[in-house]
Amino acid sequence: MVDATSEIPAAVAKRTGEPAGDPALRAERRLRIPLLAVAAGTVIVLLSVVAGALSWQAYRSAQEVLISASTETVGFVRDSLAEKVKRLLEPAQTQLTFMMESDIAQAATLPERLRLIPVMAVALKNNPLLDAVYVGYPDGEFILFRALPDREARLRLSAPDNAVFVVQTESLAADGQRIGEYRYYDATNALVGSRLDPAYSYDPRTRGWYNAAINQSDAVLTDPYVFFTNKAVGITLAQRTVDGGAVVGLDLRLKALADQIAALRITPSTDMALVNRKDEVVGYRDPDRMVTQDRDGQMRLTTIEELHSDPLLAAFHLSAGGDSLARGRTDIAGRNWQLVQTSIEVMSNRQLKLLIAIPNDEFFAAARALVFRQLVVAVIIMGVAILAAWWGTKLMVRPLRRLARETARIEQLDFDSDTRIGSRVGEIDDLGRALHRMKRTIRKFLNIGHALAAEREMKALIDRVLAETIDVAQSDGGAIFMLDDRQQTIMSETDRWMNGESGPGLKGAAAIPLGGPGIIRKFAEAVRSREVVVAEIAPTEAERAVLGLGETCERLKAERLTFVIVPLLDRNQVPFGLLVLIKATGGGEVVWTVDERLTKLIHAVSGNASVAIQNKLLLEAQKKLIDALIKLVAGAIDAKSAYTGGHCQRVPALTRMLAEAAVRQTEGPYHGFRLNDEEWEALDIAAWLHDCGKVTTPEYVVDKATKLETLYDRIHEVRMRFEVLKGQAETAYWRGLAQGGDEAALRAEMEAEKRALDDDFAFIATCNEGGEFLEPDKIARIKAIADRRWTRTLSNRLGVSYEERKRMEQRPEPPLPVEEPLLQDRYDHIVALEARDIVPPDNPWGFILNAPKVKFNHGEVYNLCVARGTLTDEERYRINDHIVQTIIMLQSLPFPKHLKAVPELAGGHHEKMDGTGYPKRLKGGDMSVIARMMAIADVFEALTAADRPYKKAKTLSEAMKIMGFMKRDNHLDPDLLDLFLISGVWRDYAKRFLLPEQIDEPDIAGILAIKPQPVRA
Amino acid sequence: MQVRRSEIWRRGYRLLGTMALAAISGAVRAAQAETLADYGCEEPIHLAFYEFGPFYHDGIGIDRDVVDELAARTGCRIETTTEPRAQIWQELEANTLDMSTGGIRTDARARFAYFIPYFGLKNAVVAGRDIAPQIHSFDDILENPNWRIGVVEGYLHGPYFDYRLSVAGARVIRYPDQNAIYRALQDGEVQVIVSPAFNYEYFFPSEVQRRDFALIDVSPAPPISEDMLFNKRRFTPAQIGAWSRLFEQMRLDGTLERIFRRQVSPEMARILMTY
C-alpha cells in the first residue's frame, strides 16, 4: 500500500512532465543506466579485476618461477662452464697423455721432430681451444706447434697466406748457437715457408711449466695467464714424458670460455665473469677486457676491481657463506640486478668463482611478457565477453523493454494486444509469462467488472459471473446457488459447463436443504465458515442426483470431482449464495491443484461477483420497491375514487400493448420503432403515474356526481328548504284559517303551493343529477325557483369551520329571522384562489392555462345551472389540473437519467394533435410517441371502463366511434390510432379487461378511413 | 712469386741473424768453414746411388741432380757410387757408407740412419690392359690366384701394399730392381707389378707400351715420404738440422721441383712434391 501511494506522485509527474520535486524521481533520473551498460560495465570491471589479479598473481608466480628457474639457470651456467672447462681440459689431457707416451722425447733431430707435423696438425685442428702444443727438451731445444686459425694470427707470425699452422723451433746449431725458426705449413701439411728469427729465443728450461712438470710425473696446470705469443689469456697444461726426456705442454686458450660465457648469457645484459683465487678475471665475455697492460708494459690479467663492472663487483662481494650458491640484489644507477655467486671446480680442487649479474628488467622480461600476453588474452576475452554480455544482455533487454512497454500499457489499462513476450532467458520468459497472465487476469477482471456493470439482468449477470469465474479458474464447470433467507436451503440460480454448455441437472432443481450429507455438508461448511472450501469427492449416485451431475459426470468420464465452494457474501459478510466450481479429475489423469494462488483468484473474482450480485439484488429490490410504490400510488389514486376505477392500472397495460405493437412493426410509420429496457421502464413508470396528480384533486370534485355535491350532496339541504317551505305553506293555511280565511281557498292555495314546491324540487333534483343538457328555459326556471323565499331564524355562522366562518365574516350577519332565497349564490360560496394555486403564464413547465378567477364557486344556483354534467368551470379546471399536478409532481422527483422523460410521457396524454389540449397545448409533433400512445390508451380506457359510477360502460363500437371523431378532430394521433386498430391491440385489451357485453365488432375499416380534418393554422 | 718473396725475406733474416751472431760472439767466421762444419763434411761424403728409374739410371737422374745441388750449396765433396739397394742398407748399418738416396724410415733403420724427407712416393700397380678393368683395388688382385705379382726385393711400398703383399705368399715374385719387374711384366712372368707411379712413365715412355699396360692407382694412402739417408755415426743432430734446412730451402725455392720436372712429367713431379 505504501509502495502504491508513494509511486503515484512520481507517475503523475512523469505523465504531466512537471519538473519533479520528488527526490525519488530525481534519483531515478540520475541513476538511470541502461542494462547493456551495466552488463558491459560489470563484465569489464569483473574481468579487469580478475585479469588484473590473475596477471599480478601470474607475474608474481612467474617472478618466483624465474627466480627459482634462475637458480637452475645459474646451475646450468655453472655446469656448462664447468663442462666447458672439462671439455677444455679433457681432450688436452688426452692429447697430452698420447704425447707423453710417444717417442717425441727421443726425436733428437729436427726432421724427426717435424715428422710430428701430421699428428700435431690434426690435434690443433681438432681442438680449437688448443693454442699450441710444444715440447721442451733438457738441452734447451724446443718445438712448438701452433695453429694459424685466422689472418690476424698469420700476420702476427709473418706467415704466408696459405699457412694454417706454424712450427716454432729452438734448436742448437753444430756450434751450440741457438737457432730460432718458424716453419709454415699449409692444409696439406706441405711446407710453404720458413724463417729464421734470431730474436726468437725461448729456453723452456727457464719456464715455470717446464720446471714444474719435469720434476713430477703428474700433469701441471698453471693459473690462467696472458700468453706471451699472442697476448691471449690461457692456461698451460704440462707433463713430463714417460721416459722423462722432455716436457710436453699444451697452451689452452680461455677465449673459448669467454665465448661460452658470452653464449651462456641469460639475458642480453647479463654480465658474467669467472674469477680466480687471485681475484683475476679469467673468463669474461669481452676477452680484451681480461687483459691489462702493466706500467712496465707487461700484459697481465685484469682483476675484478679493474673490470669496472659494478654489478659483477657487487656479486663478487656477496658472501657465499658456505653455500655453493649466494644470491643477492643490488640497485645500480637505477637498475635492479639479481646477483649470483657460485664456483666452478676446475681441476684438483682448484676453484673459480662464477659471478653473474642479471638486470631485473630483462630477468623478469619473460614474466612481464607473460603478463602482457595474459593481459592481451584478457583483453581479447574481455572483448569477447563484452560482446557476449552485450548480446546476452540484448537478449534480455529487448524483451525487458517490451515488458516495460507492456507494463506501461497495463498502467494505462490498455489490454488490446494479447502477445506474450517470450525470451530465451528463463527468468525473463517467466516474467513475460507472468505479465501475460497478469494482463489476462486484469483484463479478465476488468472484463468481469465491465460485464457485471453492464449486465442489467440479474440472471444474465449471474450467468456471466459464473462463466468468467469458470474461465479464470479453468474449471470444467460450476454453478451459483442462492441461499434462502434463513440459510437453510440453497437454490441453483445457474450452472455452466465446458464450452459454455448449460448443464442438464442443476437448472431448475429444487431447493436443496443444507443439512444433507456428503458434498452438501461441504456447502454448509462454506456457508458457515464463510471461507473457500475445497473438496475432492467421488460423488455417490445420490449426490449426483441431488446436484443433477449424473450426466455431466458421465460425459466428462469423471470418477472424482473437485469442488471449490466459494461463499458469496454481502456487505455485512453474511452469505447469500454459493459459487461452486467443479473440475472432473477422473482416473487420476487430471489433477486440479487448487493452490493458494487459484484460491485467491477465485476469491477475488467471487468477491467482485458477490458485490455485483448484491448490488444487482439491491437494485432490483429497490426497483421492485419503487414499482410497488408507483403501483401503490396508482392503486391509491384508483382506490381514492371509484369513478376512476382501475384506470391507473389499465392504462399502463394498454400503453405497453400498443408500444409492443409498434415495436413489432416491420413497415409503416412505426417501422424501426424500438424501445430499450430503460425506455420500457420509463414507459411503464409514466403510464403508471400518468394520473398521479389526481392525488391533489379534491375527492368531491373527482367524484362529483351531482351538481350540488361538495363534500356531500347539498340537495338534501335544498330539499329540507323545500320541506320548510311546504311547512310554511301549511302554516299559512292554518294561520289563514285561524284568521278566518276561507278554508277551501286556503287549502287550495296550500295544496297548490305544495304541488308547486314538489314540482320545483323535482325539477331541481333532476337538474342536480346533471344527466341532461340544461336548456336556457330550465336555467330560467332554476333561477325562478331560487327566488322563492324562506325564513331562516338560526344563525348560519354557528358550528361552521374556520374557513367557512372566515368567508362568511366578509359581511356582517343580517338580523334574524332573515328571509333568504331558496337557492342562492352567496359570497361565502366563493373560495378564493390561493397563491399556490396560481400558475403564472411564464411558468417553468410551459403550461398554457385558462385559469378561473376563483378556486371554487359553491354557489347553489351557479352549480345547478351547469349546462352539461355536474362540474363547474372551476371544478373542471381543478379536475384538469391533475395533469398539471402530475407534471409538477413528477418533475420534482429525482428521476435517474434514463427516466428523465417520465414527466413528459406521463403529462402528455391530454394534449391533442392540433395543439388544443392541455396543459401545454402541444401539437402532435411536439409530443413523444409514447405520450401519444398514452393519450390513446387513456381515452380508450376511459371510454370502455366499466367501473365508472357516473356512466355506463361503452361498447367497443361506441368507444371506437368516439375515437374516430377524435381522430377526425385531430385529438388523437391518427397513425397510432390506425396501429391500435390494425394491430388488434384493442381486441387483446378487450379480452383481458372488458365485460363480454361490451365486446362487439367495431367498424375498424370505417374508422381507419376517417381522415383527420386539416388543422387550421 | 710467393716463393721469391720468402726467399728474399729468408735471406734478409739470415743475413741479419748472422750479423747479430757475429756481433754477439765477437768473431767473424768464414762462411765456408762454418758451412762445412755445419754439414759435417770436413771429409768427403761417400754416397751410394741405386738404380731407381728416373731417379737414377745410367749415372743420371733426379738423385744425381739433387746430390749435385747439395754439393753445390754446401760446398761439400760428395763421392758417389752405384750399388744395389740391399747393399746400401748393409753399408749404412756397417758405417761404410755416409749417405744414400730414397729410403723409407723404419724404426730399425732409424737406429743407424737419419732420415730427411726428400720426395713423396706414390706406389701403384701396373697391369696388362686385358686385366686392368678388373682391378680397382689390390684386393681384386689378391682374389685372382692366377695373377702373379712382381715386386723389387727389399722394397717397402708403404703399409697398404706391404700388408697385402705379405698375405699373397708365393704369388709375389721378387726381382732385384725396377728394370727386372718391368721386364717380367712385359715377359708375362708376372701379371701385375707394384711400382712407383713415375716408373710407369719411365719404363713405358712410348704410347704403344702404355696401350698394352695400364697404371692403376689402387692405394688410398697419400704418397709416402721417401727420405735422404744419413749415417748416424757420421752426422750429428745439429748437422742433420742443417741438411734438413737445406732440403727445405731447395723445396721452398723451387729447385727440387725443377729437378723433378727434368725427369718426370709435371703430374708426377707434383706427386713427388707431396710430402
Which residues does chain A have within 8 Å of residue B251's beta carbon, measured at their own beta carbons? 191
Nearest by Cα to B126 from B81, B184, B208, B59: B184
Q: Which residues of B touch A110 (CB under 8 A)?
A: 237, 240-241, 244-245
Which among B14, B227, B240 has CB closest to A196? B14
Provide the pLDDT for residue A217: 81
- Judged by CB atoms closer than 8 Å, whether chains meet at A195 and B117 is answered as no
Confidence (pTM): 0.47
Please tell me what DSSP assigns to residue A693. Answer: G
Residue B8: band (very low, low, confident or very high) from pLDDT cuts 50, 70, 90? low
- Chain A positions with Cβ closer than 8 Å to B: 108-112, 114-115, 158, 160, 171-175, 177, 179, 181, 183, 188, 190-198
Q: Which of A111, A175, A191 is facing B240, going by the closest CB pair?
A: A111
Q: Nearest CA of chain A to the CA of B241: how many Å?
A: 5
* DSSP string of A260-295, one letter each residue: HHHHT-SSTT-EEEEE-TTSBEEEESSGGGGEEE-T
Give contacts of B76 with chain A, Cβ < 8 Å.
none
Q: Is B38 within 8 Å of A179 when comparing Cβ atoms?
A: no
ipTM of this predicted complex? 0.83
Query: Per the CB < 8 Å rule, is A191 touching B114?
Result: no
Our CA-based measurement puts residue A104 at a distance from the nearest CA of chain B, in whole angstroms, of 13
Q: Which residue of A has its CA nearest to B6?
A: A193
B221 contacts on A by Cβ (under 8 Å): none
Instruction: Kindly determine whether residue A172 and residue B274, on different chains, have CB atoms separated by under 8 Å.
Output: no
- Identify which of A879, A892, A948, A889 has the alpha carbon closest to the alpha carbon of residue A918: A879
Name A291's bridge partners. Answer: A301
Question: Which SS3 state, helix, strand or coil, does residue B179 take?
Answer: helix
Q: Chain-centre distance of CA A785, in angstroms?
A: 96
Mark yes or no for CB contact B238/A160 under 8 Å: no
Q: Which residues of B touch A (CB under 8 A)?
A: 2, 6, 9-10, 13-14, 16-17, 20-21, 34, 37-38, 40, 105, 114-117, 227, 236-242, 244-245, 248-249, 251-252, 273-275
pLDDT score of B191: 93
User: How confident is the model at residue A1015, as a pLDDT?
Assistant: 67
pLDDT at B184 over 90: yes
State residue A398's pLDDT score: 82
Q: Are A174 and A110 in contact (CB under 8 A)?
A: no
String of DSSP letters for A97-152: HHHHHSGGGG--SHHHHHTTHHHHHHHHHH-TTEEEEEEE-TTS-EEEEEE--SHH
Are the Cβ atoms of A110 and B114 closer than 8 angstroms?
no
Min Cα distance A153 → chain B (Å) is 18
| The predicted structure's pLDDT at residue A282 | 82
Q: What does the pLDDT read at residue A504?
A: 45
What residues in A contact B20, CB-CB < 8 Å? 198
The pLDDT of residue A301: 84
Count the neighbouring beta carbons within 10 Å of the beta carbon of residue A376. Answer: 10
| Residues of chain B positioned with their CB less than 8 A from the CB of A191 | 248, 251-252
Number of helices (H) and strands (E) in chain B: give both, helices first: 13, 10
The pLDDT value recorded for residue A1 is 38
CA nearest to B40 within chain A? A174
CB contact under 8 A, B248 and A172: no
Alpha-carbon gap: A198 to the closest alpha carbon of chain B (Å): 5
Query: What average pLDDT is seen over chain B?
Result: 84
**Pick from A111, A171, A177: which is nearest to B115 by CB?**
A111
Q: A174 to chain B nearest CA, in Å?
A: 5
A-chain CB neighbours of B17 within 8 Å are 196-198
- Cell (9 digits) for A547: 446436484
Nearest to B237 among A109, A175, A181 (CB): A109
What backbone phi and psi angles, to 5 degrees, belong to B51?
Answer: -65, 125
Burial of A777 (0-12, 13-18, 19+ CB in 10 A): exposed
Chain B residues within an 8 Å CB radius of A182: none
Place of cell 403510464: A687
Q: Nearest CA of chain B to the CA of A202: how many Å? A: 16
Between A15-19, B4-8, B255-259, the lowest mean confidence (pLDDT) is in A15-19
| Residue B93, pLDDT score | 92
Name the minimum distance, in Å, from the CA of B240 to any CA of chain A. 7
Q: Is A173–B242 a contact, with Cβ atoms under 8 angstroms apart? A: yes
Contacts of A108 in chain B (CB under 8 A): 237
The larger pLDDT score, comparing residue A17 to residue B236, is at B236
Select from B248, B251, B253 the residue whose CB has the most chain A CBs within 10 Å, as the one to mutate to test that interface: B248
CA distance to partner chain A, nearest, from residue B181 (Å):
32
Q: Which residues of chain A neighbour B6 with C-beta distances below 8 Å?
A: 160, 193-195
Residue A111 is nearest to which of B20, B116, B249, comparing CB atoms? B116
**Is residue A757 a contact partner of residue A694, using CB atoms and an 8 Å limit?**
no
Edge-to-edge strands, sheet with A350-359:
A281-284, A271-275, A350-359, A335-347, A325-332
> Cβ contact (<8 Å) for A196 and B37?
no
A235's grid cell: 692456461
Q: Measured between beta carbons, which residues in chain A are less than 8 angstroms from residue B237?
A: 108-110
d(CA A359, CA A333): 11
Q: Which residue among B2, B114, B116 sits closest to A160, beta carbon to beta carbon?
A: B2
CB contact under 8 A, A109 and B244: yes
Residue from the list A111, A177, A181 with its beta carbon closest to the beta carbon of B21: A177
CA nearest B223 in A: which residue?
Answer: A188
B241·A175 Cβ contact <8 A: no
Calculate mean pLDDT across residues B49-60. Answer: 88
Q: Indicate the residue type of A596.
A: E
Of A927, A991, A932, which Cα lies nearest the Cα of A658? A932
- Choose the mutation target among B3, B118, B119, B240 for the interface with A, i.e. most A CBs under 10 Å: B240
Contacts for A78 with CB less than 8 Å, ≥ 6 apart: A342, A343, A344, A354
pLDDT along chain A (1017 residues), means of 10: 40 42 54 76 82 80 75 80 79 82 81 88 83 89 89 88 91 86 91 87 86 84 78 84 85 79 80 85 82 81 86 83 74 86 76 85 76 81 81 80 84 78 81 82 76 74 80 81 85 74 53 78 87 81 70 71 85 86 68 75 78 81 86 82 77 92 88 88 89 83 84 89 90 89 88 91 88 86 90 89 88 90 90 84 84 89 87 86 88 88 88 86 86 90 76 85 90 90 90 88 89 74
Contacts of A556 (CB under 8 A, 6+ apart): A476, A498, A584, A586
Indicate yes or no: CB of B241 within 8 angstroms of CB of A196.
no
